[in-house]
């Protein structure tokens, strides 16, 4: 059973950066394809980025390319997602998510979410 535990809520000023972590247990990070999905207050779900360990490829949603960086520390089984040049529209709950091989491309394990608030 995979468990994903994310870092705590953050408050940032416009123009700053934020780095959210996602600690994996139950599996090693290198076995998993990790994704990040965000949800603005009262809004729907928005996929941001995916890392596939099988080919080492990171795929970003077009709107986040150049502003979002996904990294992994396999020694601690922790994934990170950094958003730079924050704007008020980036205020959202950020989720890490992954999946069993049988449901590749979907998300059957989720972190608890990290609220990032961007406000001056």
Partner 1 sequence: EIVLTQSPDTLSLSPGERATLSCRASQSVSGYLAWYQQKPGQAPRLLIYDASSRATGIPARFSGSGSTTHFILTISSLETEDFAFYYCQQRGNWPITFGQGTRLEIK
For partner 1, the binding residues (CB under 8 A) are 35, 44-47, 50, 59, 61-62, 95, 97, 103, 105-108, 110-113
Residues contacting residue 28 through CB under 8 Å, at least 6 positions apart? 74, 77
C-beta of 43: minimal distance to partner 1 in Å? 8
C-beta of 48: minimal distance to partner 1 in Å? 9
CB closer to partner 1 out of 96 and 118 = 96
C-beta of 79: minimal distance to partner 1 in Å? 16
CB closer to partner 1 out of 7 and 61 = 61
CB closer to partner 1 out of 53 and 113 = 113
H or E segment to which residue 47 belongs: strand 45-52
Strand 109-110 relative to strand 10-12, pairing: unpaired
C-beta of 33: minimal distance to partner 1 in Å? 11
H or E segment to which residue 68 belongs: strand 68-73
CB closer to partner 1 out of 13 and 62 = 62
Residue of 7, 36, 34 lying closest to 19 (CA atoms) = 7
Asked whether 88 and 116 are in contact (CB, 8 A), the reply is no
């Amino acid at each position: 059973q995979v468990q994903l535990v994310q870092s705590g809520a953050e408050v940032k000023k416009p123009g700053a950066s934020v780095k959210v972590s996602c600690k994996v247990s139950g599996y090693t990070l290198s076995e998993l394809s990790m994704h990040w999905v965000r949800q603005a207050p009262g809004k729907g779900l928005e996929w941001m980025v995916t890392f596939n360990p099988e080919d080492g490829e990171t795929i970003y949603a077009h709107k986040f390319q150049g502003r979002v960086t996904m990294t992994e520390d396999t020694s601690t089984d922790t994934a990170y997602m950094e958003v730079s040049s924050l704007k008020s529209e980036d205020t959202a709950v950020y989720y890490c998510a992954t999946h069993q091989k049988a449901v590749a491309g979907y998300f059957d394990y989720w972190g608890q979410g990290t609220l990032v608030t961007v406000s001056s």
